[in-house]
């Protein structure tokens, strides 16, 4: 799965009705707890997905504030 597809699925309200912030928490938890068992390429993919998802969450929060 590509980082873009992972970020899209974690941001989906169908997967996380509470919003993409919940997906972000799950991804952060997984990276911090599974990092020792991941290959460097898997870790890079997850970190890229985290950056993409963080940007999406930030855009949504700005949209709610405006």
| Contact indicator for 57, 24 with CB cutoff of 8 Å | yes
Tokens 């590509």 — which residue?
Answer: 2
Question: The domain containing residue 58 runs over which residues?
Answer: 3-65
pLDDT in tens, 37-64: 999 999 999 999 999 999 998 988 888 7
Query: How many structural domains are present in the chain?
Result: 1
Report pTM: 0.84
pLDDT in tens, 9-37: 988 888 878 888 899 999 999 999 998 89
**C-alpha dihedral over 49, 55, 56, 57, to 10 degrees?**
110
């Amino acid at each position: 799965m590509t980082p873009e597809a992972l970020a899209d699925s974690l941001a989906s309200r169908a997967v996380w009705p509470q919003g993409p912030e919940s997906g972000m928490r799950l991804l952060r938890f997984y990276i911090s707890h599974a990092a020792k068992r991941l290959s460097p390429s898997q870790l890079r993919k997850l970190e890229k997905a985290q950056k993409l998802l963080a940007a999406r969450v930030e855009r949504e929060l700005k949209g709610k504030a405006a």
